[in-house]
Amino acid sequence: MKQTRLMMGMPITVEVVDASVTAEAFDRVFAYFGYIDAKFSTYKDTSEISRINRGEITLREASSDMQLIFALAELTRQETDGYFNIRHNGSIDPSGIVKGWAIQNAADLLLDLGYQNFYVDAGGDVQVMGRNAQGESWRLGIGNPFNLQQVVKTFGLSDCGIATSGTYIRGSHIYNPLDAGDPLDEIVSLSVIGPNVYEADRFATAAFAMGRDGIRFIEQLDGFEGYMIDRKGLATLTTGFARYVAVPAEVR
| Per-residue CA distances from 125 to 46, 79, 174 (Å) | 26, 21, 16
DSSP-derived 3-state class of residue 84: coil
d(CA 215, CA 76): 17
Report phi then psi at 229, rounded to 5: -120, 125
Mean pLDDT for back-to-back runs of 10 residues, the chain (252 residues) = 96 97 97 98 97 97 98 98 94 96 98 98 96 95 88 93 79 71 86 98 96 97 96 95 73 52
- What pLDDT is recorded for position 169? 54
Alpha carbon of residue 75 to chain centroid: 17
DSSP 232: T
What is the per-residue burial (b if ≥16 Cβ within 10 Å, else e) of 116-149? ebbbbbbbbbbbbbbbbeeeebbbbbbbbbeeee
What 3-state class would DSSP assign to 224? Answer: coil
Quote the pLDDT of residue 23: 96
For 164, other C-beta atoms within 10 Å of its C-beta total: 23
> pTM of the entire structure?
0.93
Instruction: Evaluate whether 70 touches 84 at the Cβ level (below 8 Å).
Output: no
Q: Could you tell me which of 251, 224, 241 has the C-alpha nearest to residue 134?
A: 251
User: Which sequence spans correspond to the domains of the chain?
Assistant: 2-244
- Beta carbons of 200 and 194 less than 8 angstroms apart: yes
Contact 113, 25 (CB under 8 A): yes
Q: What share of the chain is helix, strand, coil (3-state, %, to 5)?
A: 35, 30, 40
What confidence score (pLDDT) does residue 249 get? 44
7 CB burial (10 A radius; 0-12, 13-18, 19+)? middle
Question: What CATH architecture does domain 2-244 belong to?
Answer: Roll (3.10)
**Whole-Å CA distances, 49 to 19, 123, 202:** 39, 21, 19
CA 20 to chain centre: 28
Strand order in the sheet with 2-7: 2-7, 10-16, 118-122, 125-129, 160-166, 187-194, 225-230, 235-237
